[in-house]
Structure formats: structure tokens, C-alpha cells
Amino acid sequence: MKTIIVLAGLWAVLYGCSYTVLETTSPAENIYSFHNYKIQGPVVLVIDEDLKNIERKVRPLSSPCSGYKYPVKMESSVADSIKKTTEKIFTQVLELNRLPTKEELKERNCQGTIYVKLNRFNPALWVSNGTALANCEIVLDVAIMDSDDHDLLVTTVSGARFAEGDSGGFCKKAAAVLSDAIFLSLRETMERYAERISNSEKIRNAFAPRGK
């Protein structure tokens, strides 16, 4: 059995075998808020382009799978998770690919803007005795401004979770374990994002309906 594992690892090194890690959307599921109602919208949501094109090539940090590659490509799942989570907080969300001007905010009757960018995305994988252990850390920078560009909230939210499972023959199933860790860490990040915004009285007051 050991000979087979060694040969498999050697084959992986020579031929660059890889298993793609599937991406999955993971918006906030449980939001702990002092309020049982959404914040008044619309709000403009701007998601930085770095969050729409995250790519990493993960190699296990231990034998016997160190010769394998696990490409991670997050084209839409993080951005989709942010939008779906924001829609759970605000009554209406307008997504733009750039920061709006004061005039554009006024035209859209928006009281402010949310800007989210990537700080860190660090997936990792270990394999030992047929078991795969994966970890992922996701850190986002979040800035929320009112319609006059005054900061309402500038913060960092993060999530870091582990997943464990069978590594499978030739380490193939380890990709699913890594995918699980990314999913869980993204969900944790989204829940902290939602809680930080939903519980901010400063944000709620800025978006409160204005009298005519």
C-alpha cells in the first residue's frame, strides 16, 4: 500500500495532477440583530473587482498528497454571498461596479453606499492517513458612507473555519473537504458582516425615512 501511495505522489509531481475546488455561494444564515426589521433602502452596494476574480493554487502542506494541486477559483460566489446577505439587511439594494457620485445617490434616493473589498483569502489543506483537514480564512474590508461621503462604519470582518473528511483515492476527495472549509468560512464572514451592519444605530439613523 505504501508503494502505491509513493508512486501516486511521484506521478502527481511529474504530471501535475490537479482537482478543482468547487465554489458555492454562502450568504449569512443566522443574523444576530437587536432589530427585527430591515434597514430602510435603497442602498448602493459596490463590490470590489478583486472579490469577483479570486484565484489560488493550493498544495497540501503534508505528504502523501503534496504533489497534487487544488485550484480555487471564486468567480462569483463571494460577490453573490455579499449581495444576498446585504439584501437580508436592507429593504432594497442597488449594485454598481463603481462608487456613485453625490448626484447619482440623490437621483436614486439613496442615503448611502456600502463598499466591500478583499483583505485576505487564505485556504490551506493537510492530508494524513487518508484524512483531509482543510482550513480557510476570509477577511473583508467594509466601508459604509452616507450620501455626503461621511463614514458611517469602517470595519473589517472575517471568518476562519475547518473541515475534515476522507481524502479519497489519489487524494481526489480532499478537494471537497477544502470546498467545505471555504463555504463555512464564507458563511461565518457573512454573518459577522450582517451583524456589524444591522446592529449599527448610526447606519440605521442615516437610512431612516426622511420627512417631506
CB 140 within 8 A of CB 74: no
Mean of per-residue pLDDT scores for the chain: 90
b/e code 164-189 from CB counts within 10 Å (16+ = b): ebebbebbebbbbbbbbbbbbbbbbb
- pLDDT at position 17 is 83
pLDDT above 60 for 212: no
Q: With pLDDT > 90 as the criterion, what percentage of the chain qualifies?
A: 76
Q: Average pLDDT, stretch 96-101? A: 95
* Residue 170 predicted with pLDDT over 80: yes
Query: Can you give the pLDDT at residue 10?
Result: 47
Percent of the chain exceeding pLDDT 70 equals: 91
Q: Residue 139: its pLDDT value, please?
A: 98
Residue 86: name the closest of 11, 193, 184, 201 by CA.
Answer: 193
* 7 pLDDT higher than 70: no
Sorting pLDDT into bands at 50, 70 and 90, what band is 211? low
Average the pLDDT over 158-186 and give the result: 95
pLDDT at 104 over 90: yes
| pLDDT value for 16 | 55
pLDDT at 158 over 80: yes
Instruction: Indicate whether 21 pLDDT > 90.
Output: yes
Q: Please state, as a whole number, how many other Cβ atoms lie within 10 Å of the Cβ of residue 36.
A: 5
In order of start, what are the domains of the chain with their CATH numbers?
Answer: 2-206 (3.30.160.150)
Rounded mean pLDDT, 4-18: 51
Q: Whole-angstrom Cα distance, residue 127 to residue 171?
A: 8
Torsions phi, psi of 142, nearest 5?
-125, 130
Q: Assign 32 a pLDDT band (cuts: 50, 70, 90).
A: confident
Evaluate if residue 12 carries a pLDDT over 60.
no
